Structure 1
Amino acid sequence: MGRFKKLLVIGVALLLVLSMGACSSSGTNPSSSSSSNNSSASNSSDSSGSGEKITLTYWNIYTSDPLKTKVKEMLDKWNQDNPNIQIEQSITENDAYKTKIKAAIAANEAPDIIQSWCGGFSKPFVDAGKILALDDYLSDGTKDQVLPGAFDNITYNGKIYGLTYSGQASVLFVNRDIFSKYNVQVPTTFNDLINVIKTFKSNGVTPFALGNKDEWPGMWYYDLLAVREGGVQLCRDALNSKASFEDPAFIRAAQKLQEMVDAGAFAPGFMGLSRDEATAQFCQGNVAMYFGGNFDGAAFEKEGSGVKGKVDAYRFPVIEDGKGDPTEYIGGGANALLVNANTKHKDEAVKAAKYLAKQLSNAQYITAGGLPSWKYDDVDPSQVDPLEVQIMKNIVEGAKDSVAAWDLYLEGNDAQTHKDLVAQLFAKQITPEEYAKQMQEKINASK
């Protein structure tokens, strides 16, 4: 009996070993399961219905509300609806993010989904082969869901590299109470504008609030005047070194800018004011006009603003003999989501990026953070600030074309060169001809 018991114990032990070996080969080992999932997920267009689980990383700049909360809500909904394709976000303040994402892309450590800016900011990433071209992923009806021109500022060498989700538009903001008080009509031509400036000036009213310490707010004036003089296509050609900045249209635009300065369009000391100081000045209710981006409107409509509910949005006046279409504007797609070319989950990342871009487009429109790039039929108009609705209807809808603000379109040092030269025009430190010559020599001649 003793020998039998020993044989029985040995037999049970062998069965346990064999059983454990069978469990190990069944795929429940965490390391082998993870490897298998990553491999198959990268070749799947949708893993949500299978047993494979992946995590996509997404970096953005939304550190404060209301967008911080809205982004969390849209991510929570995605993660609930797609248990096998989870999105994890990392949030970084705007300026720090720009440094962070450049370093991460250079080191091949970028996230799967990248928040970026259109034009010159994203172009170096594309040129380096670090961003996925999306054309093959957009034939599923995506192009029908976006507004006209949504991809223009994120298209390089004929290919689309991002999903824009918010746009910009140049706006002439008018304080209707001041215009009514002095019985002044909103100008529709540049000559009208000069006369309006002189009228307000003679009555002790500052015509325009502008803070040009930061340079880019004043740059918007020149860029729009160039669009009015030469048209969007000429501007785009010059920015792409296919036309010269010494074209007469760019010189005339510089002349028009200095004509505004000479007419007294801006308050004394405007070159030393910041953009925030200028918007605060307009919000006091004592300035007739403000020219800038749609994003400036949020300050005018906030609680405590002296112009809340008193501001209307118009197109900048046309130049009588200018070649630009009257509907053209500075702006278009400004923010976009890019997909890392090295992601292991291309199909899933694109799918998630489409979802995020659509939701972000709606969220930015509702919060006045940016104009939508996607069709917004599902947005309740009562949720949108009336000034934003005006901007969409009076400026964006029906526009023939647009071009991004030049500091977004140009890259690095070229963007700064342009801003510096326009600031010198404002200060009357250079002539229009000198401006055009330096733009051509410093930006286009070296290309």
Structure 2
Amino acid sequence: MKYRVLLVISLVLLSLFVLAKEKIVVNSYISDPVPRIVFAELVQMFEKEHPEYDVVVNTFPHEDFKTLLRTWLNSDEAPDVVTWFAGERMRYFASKGLLASLDDIFAPETFEDYFPAAFRSACEYDGKIYFIPQSWYWWGVYYRKSVFEKYGITPPKTWDEFLKVCETLKENGITPITIGTKYLWPAAGWFDYLDLRVNGIEFHTELTAGEIPYIDPRVKKVFEYWKQLVEKGYFLENHSSYTWQEAAAFLFRGEAGMYLIGQFIKDVAPASVKDDLDFFRFPVIDPNVGLFEETPIDGFMVPAKAKNKEGAKVFMKYIARKDVQEYFAKKLGRLAANKNVEPPDEHARKGLQMILESDGVTQFYDRDTNPEMATVGMNGFVEFMIYPERLDQILENLEKERQRIFGGQ
């Protein structure tokens, strides 16, 4: 009887302890299988360190998440933490008062004690930090080493060499370039890189800031290079019906030769081809223009309407730590945002070296421009890839939208 009473008391105390746990709700777009597992492991490690918290992770498909985030941030039932992108995409919400500032999580240290000083501009708005970066990655032209070796192809460094590689692949029955534009953004990678190689970073930054007309002859010049690839049939047929992952399968099977994409392609690569994947820097078009690269930064924000801001900040401080970022980066072959973490493998070291040797970096079209303009722009890019003869009409439409969205700057 005595033991039974003690057991009942223990169970009551245990249930009270469980009930006393504070909930931290995290809405996440980390939906690809491998990153999702690794993030779940990080959450479990956090709960072990902080048994007073119960972290509930709600995972959404990437494209659904982009649509839903605005609703969540405006809701009185906002989650405590959300995944998102640094740069303009974060600043857009911060400027509307929808995010909580996070400077105090570093005290008595500073943001720069954790992250490169160059990251501050992508993580702050109006002098305050609103974004905790977790990882970043480079973009490159990915290919299978065995396929290039089979056809005696050397990774090209110039545009003319790149065109020759495309032609060699096509002559051997291989689609030169795979791409999936069902969700638009992979096409923006092509626009960004062509613009950066043709016009440079200052022009590109001014364009994405709405300061340069889309009917400017320098913008049209970008599409003239793109048109060479489209008209020669170098891109995957029916690309608008494929997601980026589905398009990657053509590369994995050796049916396509190259893919301009971020390092995250390795997240979905089969084990049998992962070590056969390599990348090269987007080729030089004008040797007088510097080498500029795309380096999107992913991380977390706290909604201004979060119910458990204090718990959210504890979680954010955890996410910023060297050991936690190193765990995530090592498992996925990414580059950690925390500056004290070494590249996890040779592939990541090569990517880091490419970025260190570049003349400057941008985020990505849909992260660097106004969100509404990004949607219009990316629709225009995909339309051009399908109907290149409509270029003038597409650029005129983009210009009308630019004037409407940016107020005719």
State whether TM-score is above 0.5: yes
Give the structure 2 partner of residue 338 of structure 1: 301
Question: Which of 90, 93, 113 is the matching residue for 2:57?
Answer: 90
What CA distance in whole angstroms lies between the structure 2 residues aligned with 1:273 and 1:339?
Answer: 33
Give the structure 2 partner of residue 392 of structure 1: 352
Question: What displacement does 1:427 show?
Answer: 2.0
Give the structure 1 partner of residue 9 of structure 2: none
Question: What displacement does 1:351 show?
Answer: 4.3
Cα contact 1:116–1:336 (8 A) shared by 2? yes
SS state at 1:173 partner = strand
Question: Which of 341, 349, 360 is the matching residue for 1:377?
Answer: 341
Cα contact 2:158–2:285 (8 A) shared by 1? yes
Distance change (3 Å), C-alpha of 1:433 and 1:236: same
Identical amino acids, percent of aligned pairs: 20
Cα contact 1:153–1:332 (8 A) shared by 2? no
Cα contact 1:170–1:330 (8 A) shared by 2? yes
Give the structure 1 partner of residue 206 of structure 2: 237
Give the structure 2 partner of residue 107 of structure 1: 75
Cα contact 1:190–1:317 (8 A) shared by 2? yes
Give the structure 2 partner of residue 130 of structure 1: 98
Cα contact 2:78–2:307 (8 A) shared by 1? no
TM-score after normalising by structure 1: 0.74
What CA distance in whole angstroms lies between the structure 2 residues aligned with 1:64 and 1:193?
Answer: 31
Give the structure 1 partner of residue 326 of structure 2: 362
Give the structure 2 partner of residue 263 of structure 1: 232
Cα contact 1:149–1:332 (8 A) shared by 2? no
Q: Deviations over 1:219-264 (max 9, x none)?
A: 2111211111222332222222233333433221111111122233
What CA distance in whole angstroms lies between the structure 2 residues aligned with 1:199 and 1:99?
Answer: 41
SS state at 2:99 partner = coil
TM-score after normalising by structure 2: 0.80
Q: Deviations over 1:308-355 (max 9, x none)?
A: 4222121111112563x21x212321x221133356876664343021
Amino acid at match of 2:376: T
SS state at 2:212 partner = coil
User: What does 1:418-437 correspond to in 2, within 5 Å?
Assistant: 418-430=377-389, 432-437=391-396
Amino acid at match of 1:392: L
Unaligned residue ranges in structure 1 (runs of 5+): 1-52
Amino acid at match of 2:295: G
Distance change (3 Å), C-alpha of 1:93 and 1:410: same
Q: Deviations over 1:410-435 (max 9, x none)?
A: 44442221111111221234455444
Distance change (3 Å), C-alpha of 1:389 and 1:154: same
What CA distance in whole angstroms lies between the structure 2 residues aligned with 1:214 and 1:101?
Answer: 17
Q: Which moved more, 1:158-167 or 1:118-127?
A: 118-127
What CA distance in whole angstroms lies between the structure 1 residues aligned with 2:267 and 2:361?
Answer: 22
SS state at 1:337 partner = strand
Structure with higher Rg: it is 1
User: What does 1:17-166 correspond to in 2, within 5 Å?
Assistant: 55=22, 57-61=24-28, 62=30, 65-82=33-50, 86=53, 88-94=55-61, 95-98=63-66, 100-135=68-103, 138=106, 140-147=109-116, 149-166=118-135
Amino acid at match of 2:316: A
SS state at 2:359 partner = coil
What CA distance in whole angstroms lies between the structure 1 residues aligned with 2:75 and 2:114?
Answer: 34
Give the structure 2 partner of residue 252 of structure 1: 221
Q: Deviations over 1:19-75 (max 9, x none)?
A: xxxxxxxxxxxxxxxxxxxxxxxxxxxxxxxxxx98362413256754445444434
Question: What displacement does 1:136 show?
Answer: 5.8
Amino acid at match of 2:373: D
SS state at 2:295 partner = strand
User: What does 1:200-219 correspond to in 2, within 5 Å?
Assistant: 200-219=169-188
Question: Which of 417, 422, 436 is the matching residue for 2:376?
Answer: 417
CA RMSD of aligned residues (A): 3.2
Give the structure 2 partner of residue 184 of structure 1: 153
1:318 aligns with 2:284: yes
* Larger fraction in helix: 2
Amino acid at match of 1:109: E
Q: How many pairs does the alignment contain? A: 383
Amino acid at match of 2:302: V
SS state at 1:122 partner = helix
